[in-house]
Amino acid sequence: MNGDIGMDARKLPQYLREIINPMLDGLLLLSPEGTILMVNRAMEEISGYAREELIGHPCSILHWDTCQLSHSEGKGHSCELFEVGYVRKQPCSVVRKDGSYLHVQRNAALLRDDDGTILGAVEIVADTSEIEERDRKIEHLSKLLQGNSNFQGMIGKSGSMQKVFEVIRKAAQSEAPVIIYGETGSGKELVAHAIHTLGPRRDKPYIQLNCAALNEGLLESEMFGHVKGAFTGAHMHRKGRFEAANGGDIFLDEIGDIPLSIQIKLLRILETKQFERVGDFQPIRTDVRIITATNKDLEQLIAQGKFREDFFFRINIVPIPLPPLRDRTDDIPLLVDHFVRQLQQRSGKEIFGTAPETMNFFMNYRWPGNVRELKGALEYAFVVAESGQILLKHLPARMIRPGSPHASSATARLTEKEALIDALIKSHGNQTQAARMLGVNRVTVWHRLKKYGIDPANPVAPDFIEHNGGVP
């Protein structure tokens, strides 16, 4: 063979790039000091950096989260590789050139000469973001399937919500009037729609009307319609909601705000299935199932003479009380997961749930606005946060400011100074907007700036950064 191996060993380095570039995983060749000597094309794609931007720089340019941990512990090298000699299937996150996070898996080993002297290290980096996204989807589906936690768009595995779901199933099969009791934001509209969807009238009209949104005259016309000339501006005949809902279901939200005069007309529909348009005396028959909802105490309104007792007895046949969110805290993690996934798809941001401190805050917060408030808080956080986890500082200031009546003393952690810094960061130094976020006037903000020596143009302080997990 005359020692001919087909490739001159002296020219091996110049062939090395051609050998490693076709690899699907990223490859890094490091010096003993951790300086990047060589990368392949896959590593350029994973990091977002060009080869020229990586070579000659320390591997810390990629901000490996495991390496940062070793630095914080005062270790001599940037990672455990130089201590144990290898890394096997280590999950890790890197920060790409554009600032986004990427989940990867590292395998690495030291390179030594015959005497054991370290010549450098080689690292293989595999992009696992697609695998993790798949696992998150599987976990999400498992949560939804477990304990029937998703019911007609309502999320809940708690015993109280499971009872609500069961009552909805039974009420949907009945023709009796249903009334839904619940605080603002508790999901009364979802319950009403579920009753229609699960009931025998599902293929017929579903008409919804908020009784608190209109004055008495407009509400009457909206419900029952009117004939031409019935009042000023009535230029033509108009069909009302009850006529449009014939054969189906009608949902009257905020029924506690309805005037007594209209209560009488609704009572007649319940008893005779007839009504007249405004300005007409010709009765119109309608076959509708009435679903109502309120956040008020109707019996108290009856005692005050603001609600008819006979009407109450006709609509209160199947009552469905909805528990407030503070009474079903077991459902909060499920709801957060559900809304975060919706917002991920809508925004395209790589935000993956809440930090433990934030979830602890959610579990102790009183939630006066219930599920609607939780969803709104997460929507706000997706506007403020860029990536990673949702921190306390990403929540609306009114929720977390000191003295908030709805946050427990154990979870309302931001001091007056930290709350001010938080508001200035979110408002980009706009003192008027910061004052609005804090619920104070602009003069108060000015006094606090003087008190704490804060520059509104550059408000970030070391103690604030430390409190919020190192993210300014």
Q: pLDDT averaged over consecutive 10-residue blocks of the chain (472 residues)?
A: 45 66 86 87 91 88 64 47 75 81 84 84 86 63 54 91 95 96 95 96 95 90 82 74 95 96 95 89 92 96 96 96 95 93 91 88 93 96 91 89 60 63 80 78 83 79 39 34
Looking at residue 138, its pLDDT comes to: 58
Domain covering 159-322, topology: Rossmann fold (3.40.50)
Looking at residue 2, its pLDDT comes to: 46
Is this prediction's pTM over 0.75?
no
- pLDDT tens digits, 334-360: 999 999 999 999 998 989 889 888 898
* Amino acid at the residue 214: L
| Residue of 184, 252, 164 lying closest to 214 (CA atoms) | 252
Q: Tell me: domain 328-467, CATH 1.10.275.10, correct?
A: no
Question: Where in the chain are the domains?
Answer: 9-127, 159-322, 328-467
Q: Side-chain half-sphere of 144: how many Cα atoms within 13 Å?
A: 16
Looking at residue 207, its pLDDT comes to: 95
Say which CATH architecture domain 9-127 belongs to. Answer: 2-Layer Sandwich (3.30)
Looking at residue 460, its pLDDT comes to: 60
| Residue of 80, 88, 52 lying closest to 61 (CA atoms) | 52
Residue with tokens 């014939």: 246
- Rounded CA-CA distance 419/435 in Å is 11
Looking at residue 5, its pLDDT comes to: 42
- Cα 227 to Cα 193, 207, 221, 238, 279: the distances in Å are 30, 21, 9, 6, 6
- Rounded CA-CA distance 155/148 in Å is 9
